[in-house]
Structure formats: C-alpha cells, structure tokens
Amino acid sequence: MPSDQPQPALVLVRPQMGENIGAAARAMWNFGLDRMRIVAPRDGWPNPAAVAMSSGAGRLLDEARLSDKLADAVGDCSYVYATTARGRGLTKPVLSPERAMADAAARIAAGEKVAVLFGPERAGLENEDVARANAIISVPVNPEFASLNLAQCVLLVSYEWMRAAGEVVHEADVPAKGDWASAIEIEKLATHYEDRLGEAGFFYPPEKAEGMKINLRNLWSRMRLTRADVQMLHGVMRQMVRWKERDGS
C-alpha cells in the first residue's frame, strides 16, 4: 500500500519505454514519493523492463494506478501541474519546480489532492494534456538543449518536493568519530597549553602575555574539536614535555 504521508501523485502520461517508467519509480522512491499513476503506456502493463530498471522500487510499479485516459487519472485531484520545457501559448501560471512544489505542499497541507503530469519521452505532453492542468512547471534548462529524460524530470520534481516538505538537511556538521568536545573539555585543554607554554617562556614579553593567551583561546574556540581531538592534543603536549625532560636541556 502507498504510504500515508501527504504527497502529490506523479502521473506518467503515455510513457513509451518500460525502462523510463522503472527509472521514474526509482527517482520517486529516492525522495519518499510512492504514488505513481500511469496513463496508456505504449508497451502495455505490467512491463518487465520497468521492473528490471526500478532497482528496489518495484513496489511503486505494483501499486501504480493504471488509466486509459488522463481525465480518469486526475479525476480525484483539485489541482494539477503539467511539466513542459516548451512555451504553450496557454494562459496559465508558469512555475519553477521549486516554486511549484512549495505551492503543492501548501495546497496538500490545506487538504487538496494534487497531481503532477509528465509527458511521453518523444515530445512531452500534448497541448490537450496541458490544457487540463491548472499550472505549468517549467524546468530552467539550456534553451539550445531543452529535452529532459522522463526520469530526470521526475527526479527534479521529487527532489523539490522533499525540499518543500522540509525534509532536506541543507548543512550538517557531524563529527566523523565520536562526539563533539564539551566546553569544559576545551577549557581544560586551553589551561593545559597555557600552563605548559607559560613554563616554556612562550608568553613573552610579559606585557603581551594576556593578549597572546586571548588569541590562543580564540584559536581553540574557532576549531570544532571532538573528544578524540582533545585527547590527542593533550597527548601531543604531554609528549613534548616528556621529550624536553628526557633531553635534559
């Protein structure tokens, strides 16, 4: 069964190649979408080539809603977007994938059912298909090479849906090993270095010592250190002191 997560239905209109249907299912599932609808696939349904290409997303193909006509595929939807790279001369809002999925998220949150149409590989949606949509999604591509593979277009829209749904982490600062060092651990490290550097006569001349210590503390605060980093730096200083004592000078 499709998930209970609110999401748009992605409608493949007259897709031609099973491989592209499978790749589209894979792209959808990469971003948590699992409501696929298929209108009049050229090579019939089910399609073994689609299953082979889906690479683990075969459930979407098994649960896909099959229709002979586009009107039936979107009959339960209150708002429909049509993806196209060409100007159609139709008076409709034209949105980027980002803006369209933000709009879709707001509509779905308000209780609407939303669908996104994707045309066949050869030439995309017909004007008659686009006329059934409430808005157009236009991908900003190179005007000299505007043709997008079906699965590529599905992937773009699916990714923008995930962004609009607030599920994309735009920046992560995760330690590769262990936990981040706590403030008290950084404080002890700073004190260790100040004490040993003071004994070595590093803070010279005396009137500049306070400023040098502040600069050193500032250095520690700018570095995101893990507990393992702190332990290693303590060990470096201890070893340097032992080496100096063994050297006897």
pLDDT score of 211: 93
The rounded average pLDDT for each run of 10 residues, N- to C-terminus, in the chain (249 residues) is 85 95 96 96 93 92 96 96 78 92 94 95 88 92 83 95 76 66 90 91 91 90 87 91 70
Predicted local distance difference test score (pLDDT) of residue 161: 95
Cα–Cα distances in angstroms (integers) from residue 102 to residues 67, 81, 86, 161, 192, in the given order: 27, 12, 22, 7, 52
Burial classification of residue 69, based on how many CB atoms lie within 10 Å of its CB (0-12 exposed, 13-18 middle, 19 or more buried): exposed
Q: Where are the alpha helices (DSSP H) in the chain?
A: 18-30, 48-54, 58-62, 70-73, 97-109, 127-131, 150-164, 183-199, 209-222, 227-247
Q: Residue 249: what pLDDT?
A: 54
- Choose among 87, 166, 168, 77: nearest CA to 130: 87
pLDDT score, position 112: 94
Distance CA 187, CA 159 (A): 43
pLDDT at position 142: 84
CB 226 within 8 A of CB 179: yes
Q: Check residue 236 and give its pLDDT.
A: 92
Per-residue model confidence (pLDDT) at position 169: 56
Q: How far apart are CA 33 and CA 24, in angstroms?
A: 11
pLDDT value for 174: 60
